[in-house]
Structure 1
Amino acid sequence: MTKSRNIFIVLFLISTSFFSQERSVDSLSRLEFQEIQELFLKSVDDSLVSNIYVQAYLNKAKKEKDSLEIAKGYFLKIISNGEDEKFFHLYDTIIEVSKNLKNQNFPATAYFDKGVYYHRKYLYKNALDNYIKAAYYNHGSRKEHLEFLINQSLGRLKSTINKNQEALTITKKCYKYVVEKNYRDENSPLYYNVLFSLADTYRKMNYLDSARVYTRLGLLDKNESDTSINYYHFLLLDGILRLQNKEYIEAEANIARALPYIEKIQDQTTIASGYFYLGKAYSYLNNEEKSILNYKKVDSIFQKTNNISPEYTNAYQQIIKHYKKEGNIEEQLNYTIKLIRVDSVIDNRYKYVNQEITNKLDIPSLINSKEQLIEQLQIDKKQSSTATFVLLFILSGIIGITAYQYKKKTFYKKRFEELIKTDKPKERVKPTISETSPPDIPKEIIDELLMKLSKFEETHSFIDSKITLNSLAVKMNTNSNYLSKVINHFKQKSFATYIKELRVEYAFMKLKSEDKLRRFTIKAIAEECGFKSAESFSKTFYKVYGIYPSYFIKKLDDLA
């Protein structure tokens, strides 16, 4: 009966196209939500028709004031429009509508999808923020599966930033899930994605035997006649493993065979991986021309995407070495400049591995190398004074910036070492407090307010992000004018500064003592301590302690 009814509705819509879209939507809104959704799924490939069903769904949900169904309606709208970026803001609408729902799949699903979007854009901090929020709100009927998807994404993210041990722990958990759910028997892409991540993480940790076991599982399950790209992903990984096992001829053959298929899916990160390791294979086979050609392809992907894994920076060093051997100073400088830019991108995007990257690139040596190249250019190219002047000006600026960054890191390290020895911020010079109290406030009121402020600090009430001067004055049974004057006089700072500094001192102590908090993002820590934005928190933390909270957390983790 239901099927006949649905067919009738579709035919009715087609045969009465002269009626307005609004009237069609109104008619559809009388159906049950499930019926509208089924019609939507049948027409999802036709955005014009599917959007009519979406509008009907939303109209019905809004009319009934059903928050869950409104959230579902907006989710269907995103699907209907092929996840077009201009509809990305609807995720925030879904989150706002569903934030107070209990035991539902929203807003967790919306946070997760946002995380995936940012991950694809290489915005790793934003991705992590949303994955964590998705995990926090994950209380719906799909809790177990969504937890798996979140863990899978977190594993990939941690592998991307070379947190390989953490990535391995998470990916093992994901592998256990897909095996228990029989995804392998169902030939599901989820199984092969996890299997590949597990093999690749073992490879990055140099557990080559384990990496080979899981890679061979993928190759056995996905024979070459299969149209799925999975086979060629595993073939590429097998080539990389053979390279690490010094089987250079086999490595080159497998990587070269896999790359054309991987290039078809436009996965730039994996393509860069293929070029880099093919370049290494040719290098070991003493074919320098092909080696450098593939290393340059790694750079071409970076120029296009502005993204590169720390693992592939060696490509630039090999190109520089090649041109140094040829005596081509201009190309040496060209790729040295590119390497510095790569370092800058990695330093900003992969902040959790800054120390490792800095050691690999050896910034002081890089600066010295550039200075020597500049000196050589001055000798060889005296005639082309204009071009040389422009090049030297650019390089001097780069050297200055790089030297400044190096000096700043050295200062931060020293500052951290000072801070770790104390439980309090560095003493700041304060104006002398007059012994006389504000003349227009009775002494008993001052004493009472100072006592209440002391309790306010001891109970950490300042982490409430909604606190204002007026609201605090009400709680203390006084007026805002009295409270402001007492804080200005006895704390020697404005109310806003007083609150912000209490919050960062609280954060400082919590970060030192609770490693769990250090796993939060800066934004999440800021919100935990009462700040409304990560930027305000970071600026205040720097003002009080002389270093940024991200650096402080990283150094604390290094000590752990």
Structure 2
Amino acid sequence: MNRIFYCFLLFILQLFPGQSSNSTEQEIKKQYDQLIGQGFNDQNFELIKKLTKASEKSGYKEGILRGKRILSGYHTDRGELQEALDVSIEAETIAKTLNKPRDLSMIYTSRGIVYKKLGFTKEAKNTTLKSLEYANKIENKDFMHVQRATVYQNLSSYFEKPLQQDSVIYYMKKSLSEAEMISNMEDKKIDMMIFGNMNIGNFYTGIHQPQRLDLAEPYYLKALTYRKSHPDIFSLSDLSVLGSVGRFYLEKGDYKQAIQFATETLEIEKSKKSLMARLTAYMVLANSYEELNDQALTVRYTKLYSGLSDTINAESEKTVEKRFQNVISTAKKENKKQKAGIITLALAALSVSGIIIWLYWLKKNRLLKKKYEAQIKKLEKESTDDGKINSQSVDKSLVSKTVNISEETITSLLSKLEKFEKSNKFIRQEVNFAYLANHLNTNSKYLSEILKQYRGKTFSQYINDLRINYILQLLYKEPKYLEYKISYLAEECGFSSRVAFTLEFKKVTGLNPSYFIENLKKDRHLS
């Protein structure tokens, strides 16, 4: 069916030059409508580009505008941020000429997302507010509600600090309210309702402090109801919803449910090809199987997660650096006399979007350096305490008990736990949940509650954090360890594989082990 449609569209495009202007415009509009209804994929992306070129050839400005606006959003989804900005600027010029407030609002919304992905929160927020101004000028009420809902949802992402969480949920609920007011666009309304409920669930699961899984669950369940009532519409965002629900059940401790939703995500991803959805599913599966003590599947999905994560990061950095180096290379060919001249020519050659991409690349490197420096300061502070590793503790006054344990038992278990942490027995590979419960002479229920309430972690998080902090101390204090292979370091602190060690190291420090070691070597050499 897709092949027949594709051939039909090419045939139509070939006929455009011989048709009247009105006929051409009507045909282009019809094809746009059909493609939008099918959702985005690589084939439709190419067809949108053909429709945009056909619009340019026939002088159909609204077709050009629509095509470039869609292409900008598509580039954004694919992570092609430079292309997204370039096309966005072209679309903005046309939209202003045609006085199209709806298009301008959508263009600024898309551009705000690009700025956000690049880490420029202030510019992203200002651009999104500009989008809201134009949304309020849209005459069609349904279109206005749709665009407002989109803008409010995006605005909610600019308030990330704990003290701003009221602003986050305020805009999320405003977005959901706008979606509910849509009257004559049922498909769009349901799509936005699914997305809005999912996002509020994500907020209570991953942003709200303290975590409120009880408030999150009703929103997830509401989003899932559309899977049965409106399956075609649900399929447009099924990867996002199922991935989010999988993460929720992982946090809730319902690992079988988490595995079910993550497995469904991977099955759907085979045809839809979303690297981030696949990455999320691997993470959920790796952590769930780890909690269920299934070592084989834990290792399997940890390797898949780590490999895909490294691939995504490496390709992203490679693409950004390649673009920048191409600009510098061009500048050097034109002027080799002075270094200052090279820099000037390079900046002149960069488009506005190219400069932003370059700044993003530099900013990312600075952030990694800050994380490294913060880790070194932490190690310096810990080294003044005779090298003892301090586990995270939780203020007892803030503890909300779900298991009734006497104060005497709590005091005894915490004392034993501290002795265990100082003994370094946690680096033994045979240490598991049952081992620690037996070592502390307690039951699994009490141990799980103590770790949750007084260390703020699951058993796996607790043990892995101890092991990573242990190896960090060795790397910092014993230069010989800087020369060892990652696989040896993993074994030294109790991990069964290099992949599992690398993954946990990233979780704790935000850095790759190789990056940390390389920079620590440089510091040692300079000193």
The bucket for the TM-score relative to the shorter chain is 0.3 to 0.5
- Structure label with greater radius of gyration: 1
Which structure is higher in helix share?
2
Query: What TM-score results when the alignment is normalised by the length of structure 2?
Result: 0.48
Q: TM-score, normalised by structure 1?
A: 0.45
Q: Between the two structures, name the one with larger relative contact order (CA 8 Å, sep ≥ 6).
A: 2
